[in-house]
């Protein structure tokens, strides 16, 4: 039977050596599924609360009795029960890590019990119409700055976004660029300049905020990939205090003019809908103006951003909202607005690779997965290669 038998939580370490939780959910038919929950360092103020792991584990222990006998295929009932039991906007009672751990473990157990791939289960669960053979574009963070590194860069993520018909080709390009960039950094800055930040990207000190893009662009030229790779930036501007919005505006326009840009995320403070809208109105139409801290995978904030005409793309992070059902609702709402949808990892990641399945399952336009380095990032790359053989 596909009924929930037991739910347990245990503490594990994330990629920064901080404690998080892993949830194990057992079914009466013998299926067991596990979900490990990531956490971010750069967080929007409207994100679901991350409860201290030991407290979350105690919550899970008490919730196990409540969910005993629930039909694991009724994801909406499981998630709505979690939402009702918590009763707060920010999941402050149970913790978003607690609720997502149970919600995701249930989805994984259901897919396993049905003997279907997780991406296929997410696709069926979402009810979204997916373009046949579509693939999310991969956004690889090759230079880390801001809160994700100990260097002098104000901006958080310098991204390459290859154009490819399949994952293996995209990953091959990313790896080539990453390795050549390592060589270039060693040549320019000397040995030891290629230590990496939280998401696997290189993190030396640069002369200014544009030099990483200058070096990446030169690498692309040397590899004859300039026409096959776009660039992107996650500014994480809520964490930038020393640059004014007007100055940020000018910096971004220069980036767009000087480099082959596609993607700009969190350009201004998370509450600055006005400047987001102003920039979107002025920028070229095919540029992805992306909300993350601005929207935090939250339907009410998504509606606010649409009303302000602030963005045309959104980052989706399930732990920002706390359940799979709410994550899918945020994706569907964004699709209704004709926004680009980008599923994303977190800086404090685990080896759980479910975001690869989620991105493929919902037909996302993009997947942010860090650099091709560090085991918790590589897990996502390798899962994409596996999915490619499953489709």
Q: What DSSP string describes 184-246?
A: HHHHHH-TTTT-B-TTS-B----SSTTHHHHHHHHHHHHTT-GGGEEEEEE--GGG--SS-HH
285 is catalytic: no
CA distances in angstroms from 62 to 8, 12, 53, 67, 324, listed in the order given: 10, 20, 14, 9, 21
| Per annotation, catalytic residue among 317, 340, 368, 380 | 317
Instruction: Return d(Cα 308, Cα 294) in angstroms, integer.
Output: 12
CA distances in angstroms from 334 to 50, 121, 261, 287, 340, listed in the order given: 25, 20, 22, 17, 8
| Per annotation, catalytic residue among 22, 47, 199, 349 | 199
CA distances in angstroms from 69 to 6, 75, 121, listed in the order given: 9, 13, 21
Task: Outline where 115-160 has alpha helix (H).
Answer: 118-126
CA distances in angstroms from 91 to 53, 292, 319, listed in the order given: 14, 18, 11
340 is catalytic: no
Residues designated as active site: 199, 317
């Amino acid at each position: 039977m596909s009924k929930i038998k037991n739910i347990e939580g245990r503490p594990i370490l994330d990629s920064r050596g901080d404690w998080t939780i892993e949830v194990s959910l057992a079914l009466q038919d013998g299926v067991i599924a596990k979900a490990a929950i990531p956490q971010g360092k750069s967080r929007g103020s409207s994100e679901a609360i991350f409860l201290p792991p030991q407290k979350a584990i105690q919550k899970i222990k008490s919730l196990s009795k409540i969910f005993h006998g629930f039909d694991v295929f009724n994801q909406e009932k499981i998630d709505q029960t979690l939402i009702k039991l918590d009763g707060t906007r920010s999941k402050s009672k149970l913790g978003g890590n607690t609720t997502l751990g149970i919600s995701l473990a249930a989805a994984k157990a259901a897919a396993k019990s049905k003997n279907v791939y997780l991406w296929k289960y997410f696709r069926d669960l979402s009810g979204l119409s997916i373009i046949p053979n579509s693939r999310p574009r991969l956004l690889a963070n090759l230079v880390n700055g801001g809160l994700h590194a100990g260097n002098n860069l104000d901006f958080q993520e310098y991204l390459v976004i290859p154009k490819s018909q399949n994952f293996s080709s995209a990953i091959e390009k990313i790896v080539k660029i990453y390795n050549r960039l390592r060589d270039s950094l060693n040549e320019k800055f000397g040995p030891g300049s290629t230590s990496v930040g939280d998401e696997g990207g290189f993190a030396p000190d640069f002369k200014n905020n544009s030099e990483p893009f200058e070096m990446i662009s030169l690498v692309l030229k040397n590899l004859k990939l300039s026409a096959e790779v776009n660039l992107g930036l996650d500014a994480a501007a809520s964490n930038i205090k020393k640059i004014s919005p007007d100055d940020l505006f000018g910096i971004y326009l220069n980036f767009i003019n000087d480099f082959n840009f596609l993607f700009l995320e969190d350009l201004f403070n998370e509450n600055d809908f006005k400047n987001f809208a102003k920039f979107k109105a002025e920028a070229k139409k095919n540029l992805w103006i992306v909300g993350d801290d601005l929207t935090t995978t939250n339907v009410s904030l998504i509606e606010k951003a649409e009303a302000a005409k602030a963005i045309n793309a959104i980052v989706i992070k399930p732990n920002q909202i706390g359940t799979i059902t709410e994550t899918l609702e945020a994706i569907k709402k964004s699709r209704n607005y004709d926004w680009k949808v980008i599923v994303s990892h977190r800086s404090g990641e685990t080896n759980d690779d479910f975001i690869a399945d989620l991105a493929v399952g919902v037909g996302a336009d993009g997947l942010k997965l860090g650099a091709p380095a560090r085991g918790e990032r590589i897990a996502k790359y390798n899962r994409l290669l596996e999915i490619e053989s499953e489709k």
